[in-house]
Amino acid sequence: MRNYLNSKNMEAEIISEILLKAASEPEFRKRLIKNPEKILECYSISKEAKFIVQKSIKDLIQ
């Protein structure tokens, strides 16, 4: 159970880092919006975490 929680906490931190980077770096944000799958494949996160990032980015641009 502890490893599961640590893994989820690490993913939450990575999600936060990605979203903060997207907020502060316009070029990264453009690339993430244009091709999120390619950008997110560089990160060791689950499909669910990638979905959260993609949904968050879509919500921001609407």
pLDDT tops 90 at residue 47 = yes
Domain boundaries, the chain: 2-61
d(C-alpha 60, C-alpha 3), whole Å: 32
- Write out pLDDT tens, residues 20-46: 999 999 999 999 999 999 999 999 999
Find the mean pLDDT for residues 2-13.
81
pLDDT at 4: 65
pLDDT at 12: 95
| Tally of CA atoms within 13 A in the half-sphere of 56 that contains its CB | 17
Q: Tell me, what amino acid is at 43?
A: Y
- Write out pLDDT tens, residues 17-27: 999 999 999 99
The residue among 17, 15, 13, 11 whose CA lies nearest residue 55 is: 15
Tokens of 30: 């453009």
d(C-alpha 62, C-alpha 60), whole Å: 6
